[in-house]
Homo-oligomer: A and B are copies of this chain.
Amino acid sequence: MKEFKVIEVKRSILEDNDADAERLRKELKEQQTFLINLMSSPGAGKTTMLKKLISILGDKIKIGVMEADIDSDVDAKAIMEAGARTIQLHTGGMCHLDAAMTRQGIQEFGTSDLDLVILENVGNLVCPAEFDTGACRNVMILSVPEGEDKPLKYPLMFSVCDVVLINKIDVLPYFDFDMEKCKAYIHMRNSKARIIPISAKTGEGFMEWTQWLQEEAAAWTNQI
């Protein structure tokens, strides 16, 4: 028995996604919804990070997660089990979400009672970076096993992110991953990116990450 809604989001007929994304951001500001667009490669740990986040912040603030997938619902099930409200967005084969698709998700979900809404985008370092979803902030996860050279190969993704979480630092001893090089490559693409090494498995780094999230959410909704 599913406890979450599944909706098939449709690509915008609007030509100008950027303008539509700006409109959505204004709407979110008016309705006091703080929306994070979370991006990464498949398997970098978006869902595991969210489960840990819900276990840490779930008692303090109301979190909702919109799970975008091509056609499965395994992540939505995992998030529901972790205790957050969730909705599954099916992209019908599309590799990303645009602002219109995100707006459909927000409207179906109903976000007025939520303090933090996270859109888990399709696992992909190319297409999601090309389409502004209209979210208030962009966050991406790069995981240690992927290697430190990813900012060289997927420049746009790193240039559009406010925060880069470097996940799976618990397995650093088993991989040839140069953290300092990685940070330098990220800052080469985006000097303003905040970089936070974390382990979604052990919880390391989550103090800094959850603090950033809470401060940004409060600033967005004018509570500070």
Contact = CB atoms under 8 A, between A and B. Distances in A.
A208 interface: no
A152 B122 contact: no
Interface in A115-152: 122-127, 130, 143, 145-147, 149-150, 152
A45 B109 CA distance: 38
A70 B154 contact: yes
A153 interface: yes
A74 B149 contact: yes
B123 A41 contact: yes
A71 B95 CA distance: 20
Interface residues of A, number: 33
A122 B156 CA distance: 14
Interface string A168-184: 10010011000000000
A69 interface: yes
A68 B118 CA distance: 32
A71 to B, nearest CB: 7
Interface string A66-109: 00011110110000000000000000010100000000000000
A190 B156 CA distance: 33
Contact of A150 (B42, B71, B145, B153): B42
Contact of A171 (B71, B93, B174): B174
A68 B27 CA distance: 39
A203 interface: no
A42 B128 CA distance: 14
Nearest to A143: B145
